[in-house]
Structure 1
Amino acid sequence: MARTPNKRNYTFHIDQETLYEEVEIYAPLSKKQAVYLNDDDHDILLFGGASGSGKSYLSLLKLLIDCFEDPDYNAMLLRESLVQIKAPGSIWEEANKLFSKVGAKSNNIQNQIRFPNGAFVKFHYLKDNQNDFQGSQLTGVLIDEASQIKNIDDVWYITSRLRGKSKKRKTLRMTANPDRNSFLCDWLTKAGYLDEKGFPDESMDGVTTYLIQLQGDFEFFKSREEIKEKYGDAAARSAYSFVYHSANIYNNPIYLKDQPEYVFKLENLKKLERDRLLYGNWFASQGGLGYLKREDFKEIDASEVPLGLTMIRSWDLAATKPDPNKSAKQGGDPDWTRGVKCAFDKETGNFYILDMKSMRDRSALVENLVYKTAREDLQLSDNTYTSISQDPGSAGKALAETKRTKLIALGAKPVILKPRKSKLTRAQGFMIAAQQGNVYVVKNTFNESHYTELEHFDGDKCSGYHNDIMDCLSDAYETLVNGRLLPNIKVNRNNPRLRNMIGPTVLSNRRI
């Protein structure tokens, strides 16, 4: 007789209620969270952009997985200060609770958690301390609340430390709440991840872009081929793949289940904060700490600028090249050379910002930029002045005269300024015009980091922000509004009285 097979017993040894209550499961709770947690395809990732999205917890869970799987995995978790890292209920405490589940041990002196297989995570701060990371060979870096990091050079320097021995992908992960004054807002805007109002563009969510730094500016591209066509193969190969996974509290169901009152609070905030914290609007901001707000500058197309206005290119010169091995306090974030081109309409009182040239390099290259730009401005209009500031003392006077002579030889109209007032006093005229709604900016002249610099201007060199752009605008406004510039004379060629006075031969040879 054929033997009847035994029926398998599918009875659980642990009943479902006990299993649910006693066995902890660590996993993403939504598709959005799962996509971020399983993303091993990008060099630089940004997750979050709204409150309650679970960004810190998911990033810790990703660190746990990578450390658990690879004994050669070493990582750093960074915030702006150690106080933030180790405060009660901080990410340090959350990491200890989570990592201890797999036997990881923490060292409170070295701020380090080591796993049984040898992998470890070091906790540290990131604020003008690039020397702390020299010699580091890291596989992964997590910057929690990255929008609080003021110096973008600190973040960029960290990418050079991603060279660990682990076979896993070398990755910089960042989490953040929206902050219009953050470099991340500028990145997301350039890369196209935000719509025109500052909300995450759903069609770009999770889409790969490519990031490179050139002459201190960051540029984003859709593909490496696009970079290769513009800058060559070397630049294309060195670009970092970048992605933004936007998320909010609705992508984190645990809040909806366990803390509905927190969701209620977010949904009933004032519109500005609700847009920022609930819906992830990066443009929603109370403005900077200074006298100006982003809304004071009205962006227009170049075609909207009236014709025939007297223009000036105002320069604020510097001659120091950034040193990636130095912190900002040590001179690693020197002033910019800026040349801002402006115009003023005396009939309407409107002030127009038309263009800006920027550079941080040695004095010879800076001078070349000034003279090259003067030639370009002359080709566009012979009614453009070039303004150069004169430093105090005989040496400053001699240097200014040398530049003036070279500019005259080029056919330019140089103006030498001798600033004697404080930065704040010099800027008052321009700032009043901006607050009254009389300042217009041609689109693509300024990016978000430029507006951030202007928003934080308070006349104090120690504010942590540069004053280069404001210095140029102050000088340009003062010169155009109160200066004694001689505009080109406009003559109507068809005026019969004028023809009788000077004759057709002279008229035919003049620019009219």
Structure 2
Amino acid sequence: MSKERIIIKPQPGPQEQFLATSADICIYGGAAGGGKTYGLLMEAMRHKNNGDYGAVIFRRNYTQVTAQGGLWDSSRSLYRNIRYAVPRKTPKLHWEFASGASVNFAHLGSDDDCESWQGSQITMIGFDELTHFTRYQFFYMMSRNRSDANIKPYIRATCNPDADSWVADFISWWIDQETGYPIKERSGKIRYLVRINDELIWADTRQELVDQGVDADDIKSVTFIASTLQDNKILMKRNPSYLANLKALPLVERERLLYGNWKIKPAAGLFFKRTQVGEILSQVPDDIIAVCRGWDLAATDRDEDNDAAYTAGVLIGKRRCGRFVVLDVINKQIKAGEVRKLIYMTARIDRDKYSWSGLVRQRLPQDPGQAGKDQAQGYAKLLAGYDIRILPESGDKATRAAPMAAQWQMGNFDIMTGDWNEEYLNQLESFPESKFKDMVDAGSSAFNEITIGMEFNISGLVN
């Protein structure tokens, strides 16, 4: 029984353009789901029949290479269809082809990691998510971009937008600086670059730089090719809900990952607006099925500016209809020694008042190190008999707030009327630029717990 013939080729549009460009350096992407990683993997196997050819594709950390569905898994789904292609795990993860050509996978966690590549000759260098790498890492590895394989060395990179990354400045000619969106007419257009004393000098033609006295061998051709989810017809067919997932993101992430906006960044009013609240309620809804209060704790009596530090606790209810309601907000400037008493008394009130909902939980942050573990154990003992969850926080405050902001922006939040309303809404609207973010962080913890963590009703869980 004959096997079905498998044809590996790029999709029409930006992915095909990416594999066809002659540029020395090509950066591909600008939005999520555009087929960037598969384009990079296809490019890496282009010279598999040349035994002297070697490619290396970098991610910023090793987990991004090896994680489920990561770069290595993606390579397996593609390269296993090539006859005599063999996956190897030593000395590094790589694929070896019949000719002896190889495609390697590695990481550059810090600038110092570049030193381990001294003396290397790499025909094709790939960066998956270039904005995760430093400018130093990129240009240092460019010095390793050389070859004895009778193939002109080249660099290929993928990325999503990041307004604060050095990449945003590097590809600025291809981006509308007013809107932040890629300029369609410039996508794939080649420009020319020379780097002198770490200064980048650009020109529209190679001859312009030669006329300025630049050695022709020092000139690199560069292009940027923009893509979006709509360019990846295969993904749209296999996972039609992916578009809805991107549309459900909060504004900043939606602009970046769905529309490829290179200028947008977190700013006041882009996460939460009071006009997006559904209703101001005077009575607690009777369809609440779970309640969680998230806490942001004052570690000291005073902050770095000698202002009184805040302890915030935000109580959020999840409703059977799919909506959310902010039930209560505490935001107090109290001494660190009084925080434990406040949390205990509040946990007791919350449980007595909302026990009819089925689940009432307190979520507290755990500081890093042994002091954080000791503090967690102390709260576990203090709140024995209560449903609590104590977890280290990961990511910055804006990242943690994004899931709640997405629902807020879609109008899926109501709030109870209370004397805390104005202070709370003011802090939400000024986030993340305001000095104090305690209530936002506490609300983010409650929301993330009530939508993910509370699927598992484990009382007194301390991680």
Equivalents in 2 of 1:144, 1:66: separation in Å? Answer: 19
Is 1:44–2:41 an aligned residue pair? no
1:97 aligned residue = 77
Alignment of 1:356-435 (within 5 A): none
1:266 aligned residue = 246
1:153 aligned residue = 136
Equivalents in 1 of 2:242, 2:191: separation in Å? Answer: 34
Alignment of 1:439-458 (within 5 A): none
Give the one of 91, 114, 121 matched to 1:130: 114
Query: Which stretch shifts more, 85-94 or 50-59?
Result: 85-94
Equivalents in 2 of 1:141, 1:55: separation in Å? Answer: 15
Q: Is the 8 A contact 1:224 1:237 kept in 2?
A: no
Q: Secondary structure at the match of 1:101?
A: coil
Equivalents in 1 of 2:179, 2:79: separation in Å? Answer: 40
Q: Which has the larger radius of gyration?
A: 1
Equivalents in 2 of 1:46, 1:274: separation in Å? Answer: 21
Equivalents in 2 of 1:215, 1:134: separation in Å? Answer: 20
Is 1:59–2:43 an aligned residue pair? no
**Residue 70 of structure 2 aligns to which amino acid in structure 1?**
S
Instruction: Report the number of matched residues.
Output: 268
1:282 Cα offset (Å): 0.8
Q: Is the 8 A contact 1:43 1:171 kept in 2?
A: yes
Q: Is the 8 A contact 2:31 2:257 kept in 1?
A: yes
**Residue 221 of structure 1 aligns to which amino acid in structure 2?**
A
**Residue 217 of structure 1 aligns to which amino acid in structure 2?**
E
Equivalents in 2 of 1:58, 1:228: separation in Å? Answer: 33
Identify, as 1 or 2, the structure richer in helix.
1
Q: Which runs of 5+ in 2 are unaligned?
A: 271-431, 436-463
Equivalents in 1 of 2:75, 2:179: separation in Å? Answer: 36
Equivalents in 2 of 1:192, 1:51: separation in Å? Answer: 18
Q: Is the 8 A contact 1:29 1:252 kept in 2?
A: yes
Alignment of 1:292-307 (within 5 A): none
1:65 Cα offset (Å): 2.5
Query: Which stretch shifts more, 243-252 or 159-168?
Result: 159-168
Give the one of 255, 259, 262 matched to 1:282: 262
1:66 Cα offset (Å): 2.0
Q: Please give the per-residue CA displacement for 1:402-444, whole angstroms capped at 9, x wherever unaligned.
A: xxxxxxxxxxxxxxxxxxxxxxxxxxxxxxxxxxxxxxxxxxx
1:255 Cα offset (Å): 2.1
Q: Please give the per-residue CA displacement for 1:287-326, whole angstroms capped at 9, x wherever unaligned.
A: 7xxx9x9xxxxxxxxxxxxxxxxxxxxxxxxxxxxxxxxx
Equivalents in 2 of 1:267, 1:28: separation in Å? Answer: 26
2:11 aligned residue = 29
Runs of 4+ with deviation above 6 angstroms: none
Q: Secondary structure at the match of 1:156?
A: helix
Is 1:257–2:241 an aligned residue pair? no
Equivalents in 1 of 2:78, 2:174: separation in Å? Answer: 35
1:106 Cα offset (Å): 2.1
Equivalents in 1 of 2:182, 2:128: separation in Å? Answer: 20
Q: Secondary structure at the match of 1:153?
A: helix
Q: Is the 8 A contact 1:195 1:201 kept in 2?
A: no
TM-score normalized by structure 2?
A: 0.54
Q: Which runs of 5+ in 1 are unaligned?
A: 1-12, 294-454, 459-512
Q: Is the 8 A contact 1:114 1:121 kept in 2?
A: yes
What is the root-mean-square deviation in Å for CA atoms of aligned residues?
A: 2.5
2:193 aligned residue = 211
Q: Secondary structure at the match of 1:260?
A: coil
- Calculate percent identity across the aligned residue pairs: 29
1:481 aligned residue = none
Equivalents in 1 of 2:195, 2:266: separation in Å? Answer: 29
2:165 aligned residue = 182
Equivalents in 2 of 1:61, 1:80: separation in Å? Answer: 20
1:192 Cα offset (Å): 4.0
Q: Is the 8 A contact 1:77 1:121 kept in 2?
A: yes
**Residue 219 of structure 1 aligns to which amino acid in structure 2?**
I
Q: Is the 8 A contact 2:174 2:182 kept in 1?
A: no
Equivalents in 2 of 1:232, 1:269: separation in Å? Answer: 49
Equivalents in 2 of 1:86, 1:142: separation in Å? Answer: 16
TM-score normalized by structure 1?
A: 0.49
1:233 aligned residue = 214
Q: Secondary structure at the match of 1:233?
A: coil
Equivalents in 1 of 2:142, 2:130: separation in Å? Answer: 14
